[in-house]
Structure 1
Amino acid sequence: MLALMQYYLSKDFTVFLARSAEEALEVLQREQLHAVVSDQNLGDGLMGVDLLKRVSELQPHAARILVTASQKLEDAQKAINEARVNHFLTKPFTEQELKNTVGQAVHNAALVAIRDKMVQELKEQLGLRPAKPAAGRSPPSSTRIKTVEPRAPDARGGANQSLIPESERLAFRDGLTGLYNHRYFQEALSAGLLSARRREQKLMLVLVDIDGFRRFNLSRGYAEGDKLLRRVAQLVTELMEDPVTHARSDNSSEIAARYDWDVFGVVLCNADVERARTYAEKLRKAVEELDFPEGTGGGQGEVTVSAAISVFPDPARSEQDLISFAEKALRASKLVGPNRVVIATQG
């Protein structure tokens, strides 16, 4: 099984093969990894959970994937509690299941690396601590893997802001809305595209613009404008749910950010046009029905949004295409009229 996994994964990742827990620990000592995959039964009485627990201690940001034949809830709970395992591969699994699981884990790890880099840069700028790279460790690479799955950043922002460390908030959160800021959005979009290419999946970019926001600011005042931005940002994240089950998604591949002054950006990985359109229409309708200022009963219909959806890999082929096509579609839509959702076409 090891040789087969290496064959499938080496097409997209640099793979370090370890035939024992001892060899795996040697690799962990000399290489910086984004993911570690371990069978539950390692032989000689050793268990995969024990190895992954050591992984969580040595390289806490490395994703951890446990390969197991067990479907017992108590086994999964032990793996989650003791080794912080958040990805499982149940035997027998297909090549596609293996690639999807590892690909998602590496993508999550890349986002965590981006987050930590931004926090570290901010701390250095503020003089909180000097930059000290770990001795004997090479810098993280999204193409390096041993075995898989880090804790992903909260894709929502906005909620539970008091639980976010101040350094993290300053580094990649927008101060007004609590969503991710523009820089993190760009980094996450790049990571999402890399993952989508590897896994041959679609990626949707949704840009949401508050119609007539400048006029609203002038007539109501900037304080009310800030309240409106926060309220729309809240809706942007609340409505990021599965369109079939209507359950809130915890998938870190869904990133919501404040893209510009009155524009929000949403990245939906491994989603189709219908998923993006359903989300954008629900958001448009929710804003249209917004009673703002809240409690007045007379504000419905005063605030609206326009949204543009850009699709990778067709027609957009790159990050620049995704953004350019969405921005052009948004501008063209506003010339026709506000309060609508459009699909971006090439150019």
Structure 2
Amino acid sequence: MLALMQYYLSKDFTVFLARSAEEALEVLQREQLHAVVSDQNLGDGLMGVDLLKRVSELQPHAARILVTASQKLEDAQKAINEARVNHFLTKPFTEQELKNTVGQAVHNAALVAIRDKMVHELKEQLGLRPAHKPATGRSSLSSTRIKTVEPRSPESRAASQSLIPESERLAFRDGLTGLYNHRYFQEALSAGLLSARRREQKLVLLLIDIDGFRHLNLTRGYAEGDKLLRRVAQLVTDLMEDPVTHARSDNSSEIAARYDWDVFGVVLCNADVERALHYAERLRKAVEELDFPEGTGAAVGAVTVSAGVAVFPDQARTEQDLVSAAERALRASKAAGPNRIFVAPKG
């Protein structure tokens, strides 16, 4: 099985093969990894959960995937509680299941690395510095792992402690809406496209603009404009749900961000144009039904949005082309609208 897994995964990833727990620990000491896949039965009385527990201690950013034939709930709970296992592969599994599981795990690990990198940079800007030098290694994760931080001077240590949780939020969140900021969005889009290529999946980019927002700011004031941005931002995230079950999506690779002043960006991974249109249409109707200003009932229908949709690889095959296609679709929507959704033509 090891040889087959290496064969299938080496097409898309750099794979380090370990035939025993001892070899695996040697690799963990030597290489910075994005994901570790372990069978539950390693022989010599050692279990995969034990190895993955060591992985969580040595390389907490690495995704942990347990291969098991057990479907018992208590076994899964133990793996999650003791080894912080992120993903499971149940035997027997197909090549596609293997690729999808590892691909999703690596993608999620990349998003965590992006966030940590941005937190690290912001802490430096706030006058905080790493207590230890970042680890070095072959993986890009090595440059983004965050160590314990201390203030530059003892006098500012107490005050700086209250800034650390806030700095983590400010590093990749928009202060007004709470959505991801533009820089994180761009980084996450790059990671999502890389994952989509590896897994041969589609990825959707939506750009959503509030119609007439500048005029609203001038007539009602910027405070009311900020309220509207927050309310639309809440709808943007609330409506990211499964199109069949209508359950709220917990997929961390689906990103909603404040793309520009009054423009929101949404990335839907492993989604097609039908999924995108379903989401965009529900959002358009929800905004159209907003009671704004809140509680008056006088302006229902006065606020609308226009949206542009582009799909990888249908409309574009590169990040720049995908963004350009979505922006052109949004401009076309605004020109024909307001209150419309346009899909970019196939490239």
Q: Do both share a fold (TM > 0.5)? A: yes
Match of 2:230 in 1: 230
Q: CA deviation at 1:141?
A: 5.7
Alignment-mate amino acid for residue 220 of structure 1: R
Matched residues, number: 326
Mapped partners of 1:323, 1:165: distance in 2: 32
1:1-347 to 2 correspondences below 5 Å:
1-130=1-130, 132-135=132-135, 137-140=137-140, 165-346=165-346
Report if aligned partners of 2:308, 2:327 keep a CA contact under 8 Å in 1: yes
Mapped partners of 1:168, 1:284: distance in 2: 32
Alignment-mate amino acid for residue 217 of structure 1: N
Report if aligned partners of 2:61, 2:112 keep a CA contact under 8 Å in 1: yes
**Pair 1:295–1:134, CA change in 2 (3 A):** same
Q: CA deviation at 1:299?
A: 1.9
Mapped partners of 1:72, 1:177: distance in 2: 42
CA displacement 1:186-215 (0-9 Å, x = unmatched):
000000000001111100001000000001
SS in 2 for 1:92: coil
Report if aligned partners of 1:236, 1:256 keep a CA contact under 8 Å in 2: yes
CA displacement 1:215-240 (0-9 Å, x = unmatched):
11111100000000000000000000
Moved more, 264-273 or 327-336: 327-336
Q: CA deviation at 1:167?
A: 1.5
Mapped partners of 1:133, 1:51: distance in 2: 27
SS in 1 for 2:256: strand
Match of 2:151 in 1: none
SS in 2 for 1:129: strand
Alignment-mate amino acid for residue 282 of structure 2: K
Mapped partners of 1:333, 1:246: distance in 2: 26
Task: Could you tell me which runs of 5 or more consecutive residues in structure 2 were left unpaired when the two chains were aligned.
Answer: 143-163
**Pair 1:345–1:281, CA change in 2 (3 A):** same
Alignment-mate amino acid for residue 326 of structure 2: A
CA displacement 1:80-108 (0-9 Å, x = unmatched):
11111120000000000000000000011
Report if aligned partners of 2:308, 2:342 keep a CA contact under 8 Å in 1: yes
Report if aligned partners of 1:124, 1:131 keep a CA contact under 8 Å in 2: no
Alignment-mate amino acid for residue 174 of structure 1: D
Task: Could you tell me which runs of 5 or more consecutive residues in structure 1 were left unpaired when the two chains were aligned.
Answer: 143-163
**Pair 1:131–1:113, CA change in 2 (3 A):** farther
RMSD: 1.5
Runs of 4+ in structure 1 deviating by more than 6 angstroms, as ranges, are none
Identity %: 88
Report if aligned partners of 2:33, 2:139 keep a CA contact under 8 Å in 1: no
Mapped partners of 2:99, 2:141: distance in 1: 18
Match of 2:148 in 1: none
Mapped partners of 2:102, 2:279: distance in 1: 27
CA displacement 1:129-148 (0-9 Å, x = unmatched):
14844455444269xxxxxx
**Pair 1:268–1:131, CA change in 2 (3 A):** farther
Q: CA deviation at 1:335?
A: 1.4
Alignment-mate amino acid for residue 334 of structure 1: K
